Amino acid sequence: MADPRPVLAVDVDGVISLFGFEGPIENLGGRFHLIDGIAHYISDLAGAQLRRLGEVYELVWATGWEERANDRLPMILGLPSELPCLRFAGRARFGTAHWKLDAIDEYARDRPLAWVDDSLDNSCHDWAARRGAPTLLLPTESHVGITDAHTEALLSWAREGYTAG
């Protein structure tokens, strides 16, 4: 039986792994973690946000990390299990998100979909507007990542039956 919940496509870089910040890191609310030999500044808030959202959404990694997102992130974020991972067949390009559209579309099919990403561009918004199922795109700032406001907007959208956004 298919999961009846809406899909939440979750990017990693700029949503959970923060970058592009300036100044002292003490005020950013995160910690560095060594993942595949690379230091990533992981938001302390992201785990709690994703656990709350996982009660309402089917969470799926929509990141160029692909299956490597499950190597350490579920443990770091305190997630109950690994998440499904979208695969992009080498199409990943930093700074844009349009290369994710085919994989997201194939995974979500006709289910309601929300997508949180720091690189949403016009092609993503055009795709969302044409999509036959309810779709919500939530941009993040790469140095801030997912916030309480994003989580509340996602929960509200799901509670309202996918009418907002």
**Structural domain containing residue 91:** 7-159
Taken in order 70, 76, 81, 83, is the CA torsion positive or negative? negative
Residue 122: both structure tokens together: 């016009």
Task: Give pLDDT, residue 82.
Answer: 96
54 phi-psi bin (left φ>0, alpha ψ -120 to 50, beta other): alpha
CATH of the domain at 42: 3.40.50
| CA separation for the pair 148, 102 (Å, rounded) | 29
Average of per-residue pLDDT across 105-120? 95
- Has residue 114 been placed in a domain? yes
Is residue 137, in this structure, part of any structural domain at all? yes
Q: What is the pTM of this model?
A: 0.92
Burial of 129 (0-12, 13-18, 19+ CB in 10 A): exposed
Q: How many domains does the chain have?
A: 1
Q: Is residue 2 part of a domain?
A: no
Residue 145 neighbours by CB under 8 Å, 6+ apart: 14, 15, 16, 17, 18, 43, 45, 46, 118
Nearest residue to 62 (alpha-carbon basis) of 102, 100, 24: 100
Domain membership of residue 164 (yes or no) is no
The tokens describing 106, both together, are 């194939």
Specify if 122 maps to a domain. yes
More confident residue, 157 or 88: 157
* High-pLDDT (> 90) share of the chain, %: 78
Residue 1 lies in a domain: no
Averaged pLDDT for residues 66-88: 95
Q: How far apart are CA 68 and CA 24, in angstroms?
A: 29
Tokens of 75: 């443990």
Q: Is residue 165 part of a domain?
A: no
pLDDT exceeds cutoff 60 at 165: no
Decide if 108 is inside a domain: yes
